[in-house]
């Protein structure tokens, strides 16, 4: 079968061109060709068509092969160029090859033509492959493969260049670091491939929202960076607000709407750093402060520095804390809305650090989930909680005990056997034990989640869906799961008095859950108005500061005996 070949012939003799084409066909090629004999014609041909190989007569009256070769190489084309000439001498041919020709063939003897073509086409393909590989390596070094945005290396170089340019000038620029809040839940719920799609859309939306002069980069994971020149002191904050606004509309990922919020830290050159490393570090510190405060964006302040090394240290100390009894449990009561009596508690981990005192849960639970320490942490919590549950039951206080379970725990095939062993060791019973699992934990791998829940149910453990309403499943899906109750997320409960949409969500959840035979627990009950509204809707149980804050076991024992919500 003839091999297609795109051939450019620089030749003023039509007969000589035909002889060349005939030889190509004899060698098994099917040439698409064009013959040119002026610089203008060759230039137009190179602009119009991509050629595989070029042949040129060394000497023509108006446009010789040397000029053609210079034109070809001057335009940056790396295609084989072979002289086919009747007048070129050996010394001249060698000189021509030094100037970029690949070979020379005498018109009177074309027997070397086909072998030369095959060799040059093969070598040209090798050069192209090497060039593409080099381009790919270069691109990968400075661009993120998932989003196509510049990466950490690129933004570091740009920061360095901007500092060099502005070191003696009275100009400043800002570095914004941003990460997506609860992105792990998206990955756990929808899967990593959909999480990647979300990151791609976030990157695209950031580029659209910002100016061409603002460099948008992805640093890795769900972390993005923006570098922008400043014309005024408030520019960076305005850009941060613009970014937050751009992220407000839900992203549509394979038909599923996904809401995204972000935390942004801002560092200004030269106020907050005189080199890329210090700017990056201080923007990161500000971003962490923004996440902790829930303010969306924060400009770096030296006061924030004390939190950064502490955060790193806490991650390293968490495993040690689990083994050295630095952790303890507080218990928050669950109240029956009809009887107005406590019927159960939720176990919540607290960390009493020997140097820093009490560590807020949001400072060590997320790191535990990220590092895998959530597994031993959960086993410690479950063991401690079920032993306390047994103590209260022996004292005549038949309270249910709820323990939170993360996606890592739920999908761990060893969990059922580990929990069974803990209960056996303590001579405890499963009656009254409940595990709270989030929608995201279930949807991370529904089949494995169902298997794990089913195995745990055989131990007598009940299940509740925590934070219901903010995930991606539905009450219809819960028909497939052997769960006993749903807990409405506090974000809906807290605002239901002043937000009609939240009120409708709470009412609908209560009605649908009851129709499916499920109990409904509302968390975030902070005042009498919310209590009365939930009671009117027929909600079964409530948790919140209006009734009681989380407290140690001994305090809860006393509270049960003295509080109007108690068992008496």
Q: Could you tell me the domains of the chain?
A: 3-141 (3.40.50.2300), 152-300 (3.30.70.270), 310-562 (3.20.20.450)
Q: What's the CA gap between 137 and 5, in Å, rounded?
A: 30
Going from the C-alpha of 290 to that of each of 57, 129, 219, 273, the distances in angstroms are 71, 47, 18, 19
Structural element, H or E, at residue 278 = helix 276-293
From the list 237, 235, 211, 216, the residue with the least C-alpha distance to 227 is: 216
pLDDT at 481: 81
Backbone conformation region of residue 179, classed left if phi is above 0, alpha if psi is from -120 to 50, else beta: beta
Work out the mean pLDDT of the chain and round it to a whole number.
85
* Angle, helix 374-394 to helix 307-323, in steps of 10 degrees: 60
Going from the C-alpha of 299 to that of each of 160, 292, 302, 353, 363, the distances in angstroms are 21, 14, 10, 29, 21
Q: What's the CA gap between 20 and 110, in Å, rounded?
A: 8
- The structure's pTM equals 0.52
Interior CA angle at 524 toward 520 and 528, to 5°?
95
Q: How far is CA 411 from the centre of its chain?
A: 21
Query: What residues have CB less than 8 Å from 326, skipping those under 6 apart?
Result: 320, 351, 352, 353, 354
Structural element, H or E, at residue 180 = strand 173-180
pLDDT at 378: 92
207, 149 Cβ separation under 8 angstroms: yes
What one-character-per-residue DSSP string does 325-374 give?
T-EEEEEEEEEETTT--EEEEEEEEEEEETTTEEEPHHHHHHHHHHHTTH
385, 329 Cβ separation under 8 angstroms: yes
Helix, strand or coil, per DSSP, at residue 17: helix
From the list 415, 332, 325, 429, the residue with the least C-alpha distance to 378 is: 415
Query: What residues have CB less than 8 Å from 252, skipping those under 6 apart?
Result: 258
The dihedral formed by the CA atoms of 355, 357, 359 and 360, expressed in degrees to the nearest 10: -160
How long a stretch of residues is the chain? Answer: 568
From the list 478, 485, 529, the residue with the least C-alpha distance to 503 is: 529
Backbone conformation region of residue 517, classed left if phi is above 0, alpha if psi is from -120 to 50, else beta: left
Q: What are phi and psi of 227, to 5 degrees?
A: -115, 125
pLDDT at 57: 86
251, 264 Cβ separation under 8 angstroms: no
The sign of the dihedral angle between the CA atoms of 279, 282, 288, 294 is negative
Q: How far is CA 456 from the centre of its chain?
A: 32
Predicted confidence pLDDT, tens digits, the chain (568 residues): 889 999 999 998 899 899 999 999 999 999 999 999 899 999 999 999 999 999 988 777 778 788 888 899 888 888 999 988 876 666 776 777 777 788 888 887 888 899 999 999 988 888 887 777 666 666 667 888 789 899 988 998 899 888 888 766 667 899 999 999 888 778 777 878 888 899 999 999 999 999 888 999 998 889 999 999 886 657 888 999 999 999 999 999 888 888 888 999 999 998 888 888 889 888 988 898 888 777 889 998 876 665 555 666 676 788 888 878 789 999 999 999 999 999 999 999 998 888 778 887 877 887 677 667 888 899 999 999 999 999 999 899 999 999 999 878 888 888 999 999 988 887 766 678 999 988 767 766 778 888 889 999 998 999 998 876 544 444 555 667 888 998 987 877 887 877 777 788 788 888 888 888 889 999 989 899 999 999 999 999 999 999 999 999 999 999 998 888 877 6
253, 197 Cβ separation under 8 angstroms: yes
From the list 217, 205, 209, the residue with the least C-alpha distance to 155 is: 217
Q: What's the CA gap between 381 and 329, in Å, rounded?
A: 7
Pairing of strands 103-106, 81-85: parallel
pLDDT at 496: 84
What b/e readout covers 183-216, taking b as 16+ CB neighbours within 10 angstroms?
A: bbbbbbbbbeebbebbbbbbbebbbebbeeebbb
Pairing of strands 29-36, 53-56: unpaired
Alpha helices in 145-225 (DSSP H): 152-166, 183-190, 192-209
């Amino acid at each position: 079968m003839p091999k297609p070949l795109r051939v450019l012939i620089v030749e003023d003799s039509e007969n000589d061109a035909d002889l060349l084409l005939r030889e190509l066909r004899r060698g098994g090629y099917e040439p698409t060709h064009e013959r040119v004999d002026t610089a203008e014609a060759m230039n137009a041909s190179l602009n119009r068509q991509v050629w595989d190989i070029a042949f040129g007569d060394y000497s023509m009256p108006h446009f010789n092969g040397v000029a053609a070769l210079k034109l070809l190489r001057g335009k940056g084309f790396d295609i084989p160029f072979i002289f086919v000439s009747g007048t070129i001498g050996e010394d001249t041919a060698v000189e021509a090859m030094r100037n970029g020709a690949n070979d020379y063939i005498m018109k009177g003897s074309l027997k070397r033509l086909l072998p030369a073509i095959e060799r040059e086409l093969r070598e040209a393909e090798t050069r192209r492959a090497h060039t593409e590989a080099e381009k790919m390596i270069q691109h990968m070094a400075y661009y993120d493969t998932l989003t196509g945005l510049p990466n950490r290396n690129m933004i570091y170089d740009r920061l360095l260049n901007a500092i060099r340019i502005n070191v003696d000038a009275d100009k400043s620029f800002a570095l914004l670091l941003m990460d997506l809040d609860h992105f792990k839940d998206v990955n756990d719920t929808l899967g990593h491939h959909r999480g990647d799609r979300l990151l791609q859309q976030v990157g695209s939306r950031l580029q659209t929202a910002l100016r061409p002069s603002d460099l948008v980069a992805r640093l890795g994971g769900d972390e993005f960076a923006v570098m922008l020149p400043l014309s005024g002191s408030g520019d960076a904050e305005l850009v941060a607000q613009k970014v937050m606004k751009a992220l407000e509309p839900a992203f549509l990922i394979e038909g599923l709407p996904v809401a995204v919020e972000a935390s942004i830290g801002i560092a200004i050159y030269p106020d907050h750093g005189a080199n890329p490393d210090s700017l990056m570090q201080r923007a990161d510190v500000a971003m962490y402060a923004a996440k902790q405060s829930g303010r969306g964006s924060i400009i770096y302040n030296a006061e924030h520095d004390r939190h950064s090394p502490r955060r790193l240290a806490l991650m390293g100390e968490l495993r040690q804390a689990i083994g050295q009894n630095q952790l303890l449990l507080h218990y928050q009561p669950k109240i029956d809305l009809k009887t107005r009596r406590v019927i159960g508690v939720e176990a919540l981990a607290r960390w009493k650090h020997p140097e820093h005192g009490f560590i807020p849960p949001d400072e060590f639970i997320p790191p535990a989930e990220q590092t895998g320490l959530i597994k031993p942490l959960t086993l410690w919590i479950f063991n401690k909680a079920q032993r306390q549950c047994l103590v209260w039951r022996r004292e005549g206080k038949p309270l249910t005990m709820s323990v939170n379970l993360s996606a890592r725990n739920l999908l761990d095939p060893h969990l059922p056997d580990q929990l069974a062993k803990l209960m056996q060791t303590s001579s405890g019973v499963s009656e009254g034990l409940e595990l709270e699992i989030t929608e995201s934990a279930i949807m991370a791998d529904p089949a494995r989640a169902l298997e794990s829940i089913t195995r745990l149910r055989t131990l007598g453990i009940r299940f509740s869906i925590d934070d219901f309403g903010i995930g991606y499943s539905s009450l219809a899906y819960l028909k497939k799961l052997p769960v006993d109750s749903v807990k409405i997320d506090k974000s809906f409960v807290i605002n239901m008095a002043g937000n009609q949409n939240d009120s409708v969500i709470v009412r609908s959840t209560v009605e649908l859950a009851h129709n499916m035979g499920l109990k409904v627990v509302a968390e975030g009950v902070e005042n009498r108005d919310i209590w009365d509204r939930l009671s009117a809707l027929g909600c079964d149980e409530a948790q919140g500061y209006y009734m009681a804050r989380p407290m140690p076991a001994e305090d809860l024992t006393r509270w049960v005996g003295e509080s109007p919500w108690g068992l008496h």
